[in-house]
């Protein structure tokens, strides 16, 4: 039986310091009977040198060699054209591929027979999917890092400090959105000594927020929970009313951390220009929703920090997990190895559309788009067959 080869490349991005597989995950995959090919230097920014990968059983080689020989490419995001243009039918790419913002590229790769597996489409409410949940693991890293970035950018102590020179009052922090990132940001700012409030339109989030010792604030607008545990999209009227309520509350806080991301869509604006101008000078806003489509905070730019004319610091932090590269890579590697084990445990990539996880995360297979969500985004009709499919990798 031919050994299936898993490839790992450097992300070749100045703002990306993670690697898709760390040496521990590499060792697990090699132990399962697969080969791992790693581009030289790909783990350096995350604290993993070539020797650590070689010691884990990987073959450290060139970028071109990895692309040419791998059957399955482990990736953090959607690979650049320099990679995808070289992929052939039967090769697979697994990662946080953001398919709804890469629809043309997804369709082109599907037409060429490339298998695409998007981890953000994982049905997160399934207990057996938890080990594969890369979106949660990276959100946790981002939430932790957001608290540290906020503390670094804030000009005062976070905790109450009683000194011979006087008493410093604790900083007031509000975290908007209490998913995985938000809860981690709450827990971390709380540990740093701040007085913390968690805000969410889902009233059911109260228990989780209060269990961390934070206060809970919600909206009188009945938004509630949507599909997959996310807050549902609001109507324009609901959003206006919610924003007006939130704006009135935000002026009391010293640090604002926003975490609202909507996969494939423009993130909701939670801190408007008017609200931003009403905040106290020295207030810090860390926007985890920042992206090339906008952010939760008016004027935030992903990967950039600026101070407004009113003295408010705005941090665009859409990829803060990359600033915790060692831990984030280790968590991502565990997620990746679990997904690979699910799809290729028998020495071949096996996609079973009757399996709820496979049906959700496999975007393309057998030369076509198989994900119901991505087919809908491309205005394609639903698939009529759920017959099992198996690709035997040469």
Query: Which residues are tagged catalytic?
Result: 124, 130, 133, 136, 230
Q: Are 207 and 173 in contact (CB under 8 A)?
A: no
SS3 297: strand
Q: How far apart are CA 55 and CA 39, in angstroms?
A: 15
φ, ψ of residue 354 to 5 degrees: the values are -85, -10
For residue 98, what are its two tokens?
A: 């953001």
| Four-residue CA torsion sign, 152, 153, 159, 161 | positive
Buried (b) or exposed (e) across 275-308, using 16+ Cβ within 10 A? bbebbeebbbbbbbbbbeebbbbbbbbbeeeeeb
Buried (b) or exposed (e) across 316-355, using 16+ Cβ within 10 A? bbbbbbbbbbbbbbbbbbbbbbbbbebbbeebbbbbbbeb
Concatenated DSSP letters of 85-124: TT--TT-EEEE---GGG-HHHHHHHHHTT-EEEEGGGS-T
Q: How far apart are CA 93 and CA 102, in angstroms?
A: 14
| Four-residue CA torsion sign, 28, 30, 34, 39 | positive
């Amino acid at each position: 039986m031919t050994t299936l080869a898993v490839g790992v490349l450097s992300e070749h991005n100045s703002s990306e310091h993670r690697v898709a597989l760390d040496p521990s995950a590499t060792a697990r995959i090699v132990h399962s009977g697969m080969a791992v090919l790693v581009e030289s230097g790909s783990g350096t920014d995350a604290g993993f040198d070539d020797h650590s990968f070689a010691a884990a059983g990987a073959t450290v080689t060139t970028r071109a060699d990895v692309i040419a020989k791998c059957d399955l490419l482990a990736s953090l995001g959607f690979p650049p054209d320099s990679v995808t243009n070289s992929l052939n039918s039967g090769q697979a790419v697994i990662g946080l591929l953001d398919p709804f913002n890469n629809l043309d590229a997804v369709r082109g790769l599907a037409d060429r027979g490339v298998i695409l597996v998007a981890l953000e489409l994982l049905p997160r409410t399934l207990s057996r999917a938890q080990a594969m949940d890369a979106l949660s693991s990276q959100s946790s890293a981002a939430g932790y890092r957001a608290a540290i970035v906020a503390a670094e950018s804030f000009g005062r102590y976070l905790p109450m400090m009683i000194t011979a020179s006087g008493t410093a009052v604790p900083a007031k922090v509000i975290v908007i959105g209490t998913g995985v990132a938000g809860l981690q940001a709450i827990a971390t700012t709380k540990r740093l000594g701040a007085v913390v409030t968690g805000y969410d339109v889902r009233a059911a989030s109260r228990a989780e927020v209060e269990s961390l010792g934070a206060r809970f604030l919600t909206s009188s607008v009945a938004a509630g929970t949507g599909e997959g545990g996310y807050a549902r999209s609001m109507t324009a009227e609901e959003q206006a009313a919610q924003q007006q309520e939130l704006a009135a509350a935000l002026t009391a806080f010293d640090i604002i951390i926003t975490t609202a991301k909507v996969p494939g869509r423009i993130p909701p604006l939670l801190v408007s220009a008017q609200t931003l101008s009403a905040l106290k000078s020295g207030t810090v806003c860390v926007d985890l929703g920042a992206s090339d489509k906008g952010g939760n905070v008016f004027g935030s730019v992903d990967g950039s920090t600026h101070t407004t004319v009113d003295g408010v610091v705005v941090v665009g932090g859409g990829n803060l997990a990359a600033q915790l590269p060692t831990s984030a890579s280790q968590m991502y590697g565990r997620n990746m190895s679990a997904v690979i084990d699910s799809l290729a445990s028998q020495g071949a990539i096996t996609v079973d559309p009757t399996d709820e996880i496979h049906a959700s995360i496999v975007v393309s297979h057998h030369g076509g788009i198989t994900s119901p969500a991505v087919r809908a985004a491309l205005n394609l009709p639903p698939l009529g067959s759920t017959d099992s499919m198996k690709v035997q990798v040469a």
